[in-house]
Amino acid sequence: MMVTLWYPAQFPGWRGTQYLTQRESELMVKAAGDPPLPKDLLTKVRTHSTVDALPQFRRMPLVVLSPGFTLPRATLSSLAEELASRGYVVAGIGHNYEAVATTFPDGHTTECVANDIKDWKKLAKTRAADVSFVLDQFVGPRPVWGGGRLIDERRIAMIGHSIGGASTAPAMLADRRIRAGAMLDGMYYFPVTGLDRPFLQFGAPVHQPGGTVDPSWDAAWREMTGWKRWITVDRGDHSMFTDELLLFQQAGRQLPGVEIDPLRGIRVGEAYLTAFLDEHLRGVHQRLLDGPSPRFPEVRFWG
């Protein structure tokens, strides 16, 4: 399993972060279908991160990111870099054999085999276990990352997109180290009885209350006993929280059915997710979470 860490640095490293490897780019482009795009397209994406930068020497909260099904962890780079710029350590998990491609340090690349199974309950449960394993490696007396002792293990959150979102509540129920969680346009495959910590349901209009496509949000909402918010984005899309829509736009590809401007979708997600984390990991009240805001008229509050 591969994990990418983003964090506030004292100074930038000497080398920029590669978005995807050559093989990852080839397989990602192939999955995008026609019209064909250059195979090395996603190796050329520029990020704001550098490799092996020295972390700032201070205690920092940790946010674990779990991407959508088949999506490489790099597709959450915009969100991860934004959170790191605000003082969070961010761990993006590459759930092996679920992403379309995952390249390891020795150069070999694994592909998605879970696509033939699509056992969503098993995937959500397995991802929850992955998250606990990652926490075991990064917090505690002997962290595998050299800056691990800077992580404040009392301030840990998880954000999951799609099937990653589906695994967020199970991960929290299984591991009380996760103090807050956000579900980005996923589904609930298990009851959330006993979920007593802050939780954010954040999605596209299909996830408004009373929806017939996915009634799981209504059922889960009634079971949660802690702080909770339910918000949707008008004209929002399932992939608006990721880099995917923006990359397609920059490549000159218009995806059918997408109404929201990709960059606007990313900015809306960043605003509400950073507010959620600042409130529950830093204890700073965020008025943005109290109700509708003129800054974001497309955002609807349902609870």
- Residue 167 belongs to domain spanning: 2-301
Across all residues in the chain, what is the average pLDDT?
95
Q: Which position has the token pair 């199974």?
A: 117
Count of other CB atoms within 10 angstroms of residue 213 = 9
Percent of the chain residues past pLDDT 70, beyond the cut:
100
pLDDT on residue 35:
84
What pLDDT, in 10s, does the model give residues 185-227?
A: 999 999 999 999 999 999 999 999 997 789 999 999 999 999 9
**Range 253-261 average pLDDT:** 87
CA distances from 158 to 10, 76, 91, 161, 298 (A): 25, 13, 9, 10, 25
pLDDT on residue 275:
98
Q: Is the pLDDT of residue 104 over 90?
A: yes
Give the CATH number, domain containing residue 89: 3.40.50.1820
271 confidence band (pLDDT: 50, 70, 90): very high
Residues 6+ apart with CB under 8 A from 80: 4, 6, 65, 90, 92
**Range 226-248 average pLDDT:** 96
Single out the residue of 190, 193, 195 nearest to residue 227, CA to CA: 195
What pLDDT, in 10s, does the model give residues 127-165?
A: 999 999 999 999 978 899 989 999 999 999 999 999 999
93 confidence band (pLDDT: 50, 70, 90): very high
The number of folded domains in the chain is: 1
Q: How far is residue 223's CA from residue 244's CA, in Å, rounded to a whole number?
A: 32
Give 189's Cβ-side CA count (13 Å radius): 21
Which carries the bigger pLDDT value, residue 118 or residue 102? 102
C-alpha torsion angle, residues 157, 73, 6, 246 (rounded to 10): -100
Q: How far is residue 56's CA from residue 73's CA, in Å, rounded to a whole number?
A: 24
What pLDDT, in 10s, does the model give residues 106-136?
A: 999 999 998 877 789 999 999 999 999 999 9
25 confidence band (pLDDT: 50, 70, 90): very high
Contact by Cβ (8 Å): 167, 159: no
What pLDDT, in 10s, does the model give residues 40-74?
A: 999 999 999 999 999 999 999 999 999 999 999 99
